[in-house]
Structure 1
Amino acid sequence: MSIFALEPPPIAVEGPSVWTGAEMLAEPLWIVPWKPEQLAEMRAAALHFQALNLPFEQISPDNFPLTQLKPFLGRLLTELLHGRGFVLLRGIPVQDLGIELAAIIYMGLGVHLGTLRSSNGKGHLLGHVCDQGVDITKTGGRFYQTNKKLDFHTDSADLVGLLCLQKAKAGGESFIASSMKLYNEVVRRRPDLVEALFMPYPTDRRGEVPEGLHPWFDMPIFTWYENNLSCVYIRQYIEAAQNNFPEAKRLTTDQLAVMDLIDEILAEPGFVLPMAFEPGDMQLLHNHQILHSRNDFENWPERERQRHLLRLWMAPKEGRPLPDYFKARWGSTQAGERGGIIVPGTKLSVELDYQ
């Protein structure tokens, strides 16, 4: 048996991680407004950390102290890891706080959920999702640095968070989908293609190459391991690896067909869940069971009004077990210490300005 098919896959996934966008819109319990007392505790913790005058990279649960919020964050983490896999937390007053205090609150909440991971080869623990005029056809260009539509994908960490500082003039809506429901649909419609989901797919690293490794990594779309089904997928970079690296394994007819089927299912009305971010919204996703994308957007001409999200990648110590082949992309499979992008010369840092 291939290392990419360690155990016979399930016939179907059951439980709260299996949902459609239409079902979530009908009962929007996933939108959770912050309470005034919660906001007050977060602000107090941020002011405490700010007074310590420490580098942002050193933020921790000890120097961003939360007492009343701990039970809430524990329930939130359980919902992310073992429930529907996402939440939208609403109401951080980012426009009143300013970017420094907003970033401290955001990172402070993040370190209470897991360790922060670098989301690019530069070592940025706090990512900036905004149009930076990047040419996606160039090596190292990534779609989050443009105003272009993002295809459905997962990120290379257990949890990803987005905090909205500014929304676009038009467009830029977030879309998410249950990869567990997606799997069930593939099994139901084309059982002959299920095996292709568990084959390796070479995926372009976009120039961010760890020492001694190929400029692509091999990963199946789905992994069934220790009774957990996990999804890793970004078709744009799979196709880029086929185009850019002749020595990478060629995809089979079934692999191409199952990616087409995935696209068809995700395009069907009611399957995905749309979200229009407002400033102060914080979206948290469990990458193993959620796919996410974004619409094209039009920016305001003034830089200070342009669409701007802050991103965190987090590794909770309570994360699910993963097989060894995840090391090729995640560096480690140790829960709490895995995920992120580390290349030669990477130095972990926090930048409040994206230019």
Structure 2
Amino acid sequence: MKAPEFKPRAWLAADVERDSSWIIRMTPDEVAGFDDALQHAVGLNKPLLAMTAEDFPLPDASRRVLARAIESTQGRWGMCLLKGFPVDQWTEAETRLAYWGMGLYMGVGRTQNRASEIINDVRDTGASYKVKGGRGYNTNAGLDFHQDSCDVVALLCRRTARSGGTSKVISSIALRDEVERLRPDLIPVLQQPWFHTYQNTQDPTQPPFYRCPILGDDPTYFTVRTNRKNIDAAQRDFEDVPRLTRAQNEVLDLFDQLMPSDKLCYSMELEQGDLQLLNNYVTLHSRTPFEDFEDPDQKRHLLRLWLSVPTSQPLPPQWEEYYGDVRPGAVRGGVRGSAITQEFLDYEERQAKALGMRWRKWRPLVTREAATAAP
């Protein structure tokens, strides 16, 4: 994949309303390529982690549309909505297989939870959100604005809810600009070390919390990482984490005021067959609560991939503790969990090589034994 021609820029909700260049509607030929590749992969019956791109043989047109989608996430908007996957014609197992096959062309999949899963099912399982270790993807709750732990998060919509579940996205560059306009004194506060909980998704060798500034300090490559739920949980759960200062609480309160505003926040209804891709360094996203159908076969269901992508930007050195590697185009991010397998490690190295990405064997930069709460 070539590097994007335009770096991400700040956008407001009205800008996204006026310009739909971030939306790609696939042609029948492009869609047919995915269907044909799926039928080939079904016949092979290989485990997901054993697959290569050759096992999901996409024609050029279908490959190019995926490349355009990833390019859009690294360019002007920091996001893409790719429409038209025939999930209504695929079983759940076929959808999962096709989705993994697509990912083999886009990046290196990352593990996403305590169970070290490579594809997460985003659906309500009756879990709770704002509790210790709570995650939003398996609830029907409205979510705080946040970003996921990877270069690009991809959500494939298999079924929609009866009502609600609206996706909300903001430009974190525009958010920074608003803070700078209203409270320029808080910008340095955003660049301080902030403590976040891992929500029990860390490798057993890692401490249960990590340090990462909310705002990166690189003048060329913009980065933001924030999730108030995880910051507040670190305060609640760990006595050795420094208490938030008055200024830190003020900036979090200002974020809460600005992020859902009509000026910054763009709402989109994901339809069946939509694939939403977001650059986690320049966008933040959330979701409204939803009401589901009673029939289990009709309940809201999205599939989530976390991807490292070949055209990713460099990250600030202070982010290495969490992401593991800050070099551009490197395999990084995800959460290790407690069930990493040799099959995953083999896939990770093989897929990185296939895409020409930088890769090195993972190791914790901060261990549980060595962890201190000093900034």
- TM-score, normalization by structure 2: 0.85
Could you tell me how far 1:333 is from its partner in structure 2?
3.1
Could you tell me how far 1:37 is from its partner in structure 2?
0.2
Structure 2 distance, partners of 1:88, 1:257, is 34
- Structure 1 residues 116 and 272: CA distance shift in structure 2, 3 A: same
| Equivalence for 1:209 | 202
Structure 2 distance, partners of 1:224, 1:60, is 37
| Equivalence for 2:13 | 21
Structure 2 distance, partners of 1:109, 1:126, is 12
Does 2:164 correspond to 1:171? yes
AA partner of residue 305 (structure 2): L
Q: Equivalent pairs: percent with the same residue?
A: 33
CA contact (8 A) 1:159 1:313 kept: yes
Aligned residue for 1:25, secondary structure, equals: helix
CA contact (8 A) 1:64 1:108 kept: yes
The correspondence for 2:42, drawn from 46, 50, 53, is: 50
Does 2:278 correspond to 1:293? no
Aligned residue for 1:224, secondary structure, equals: coil
CA contact (8 A) 1:18 1:181 kept: yes
Structure 2 distance, partners of 1:218, 1:190, is 24
| Equivalence for 1:30 | 22
AA partner of residue 17 (structure 1): R
* Structural RMSD (CA): 2.0
The correspondence for 1:310, drawn from 303, 316, 332, is: 303
| Equivalence for 1:156 | 149
CA contact (8 A) 1:199 1:220 kept: yes
- Structure 1 residues 72 and 306: CA distance shift in structure 2, 3 A: closer
The correspondence for 1:338, drawn from 324, 332, 335, is: 332
| Equivalence for 2:368 | none
| Equivalence for 2:100 | 107
CA contact (8 A) 1:157 1:340 kept: yes
Aligned residue for 1:342, secondary structure, equals: coil
Q: Which moved more, 1:340-349 or 1:251-260?
A: 340-349
CA contact (8 A) 1:147 1:298 kept: yes
CA contact (8 A) 2:169 2:284 kept: yes
Structure 2 distance, partners of 1:349, 1:144, is 25
Could you tell me how far 1:327 is from its partner in structure 2?
3.2
| Equivalence for 2:372 | none
| Equivalence for 1:97 | 90
CA contact (8 A) 2:69 2:277 kept: no
Runs of 4+ in structure 1 off by over 6 angstroms are none
Q: Map residues 1-355 of structure 1 onto 2, 5 A cutoff.
A: 16-68=8-60, 69-136=62-129, 138-225=131-218, 227-334=220-327, 335-347=329-341
AA partner of residue 338 (structure 1): R
Structure 2 distance, partners of 1:331, 1:273, is 31
- Structure 1 residues 263 and 135: CA distance shift in structure 2, 3 A: closer
Structure 2 distance, partners of 1:330, 1:125, is 17
AA partner of residue 98 (structure 2): I
Could you tell me how far 1:78 is from its partner in structure 2?
2.1
Aligned residue for 1:128, secondary structure, equals: strand
Structure 2 distance, partners of 1:17, 1:130, is 32
Structure 1 distance, partners of 2:124, 2:144, is 16
CA contact (8 A) 1:115 1:336 kept: no
Aligned residue for 1:230, secondary structure, equals: coil
Aligned residue for 2:91, secondary structure, equals: helix
AA partner of residue 213 (structure 2): P
Could you tell me how far 1:16 is from its partner in structure 2?
4.9
* Number of residue-to-residue matches in the alignment: 337
CA contact (8 A) 1:226 1:321 kept: no
Structure 1 distance, partners of 2:159, 2:342, is 25
CA contact (8 A) 1:197 1:221 kept: yes
AA partner of residue 215 (structure 1): P
Could you tell me how far 1:113 is from its partner in structure 2?
1.2
- TM-score, normalization by structure 1: 0.89
- Structure 1 residues 189 and 322: CA distance shift in structure 2, 3 A: same
AA partner of residue 257 (structure 2): E
AA partner of residue 47 (structure 2): P
CA contact (8 A) 1:178 1:291 kept: yes
- Structure 1 residues 344 and 306: CA distance shift in structure 2, 3 A: closer
- Structure 1 residues 348 and 301: CA distance shift in structure 2, 3 A: farther
Aligned residue for 2:307, secondary structure, equals: strand
Aligned residue for 2:104, secondary structure, equals: helix
| Equivalence for 1:8 | none
Aligned residue for 1:277, secondary structure, equals: coil
Could you tell me how far 1:101 is from its partner in structure 2?
2.2
Aligned residue for 2:226, secondary structure, equals: coil
CA contact (8 A) 2:217 2:316 kept: no
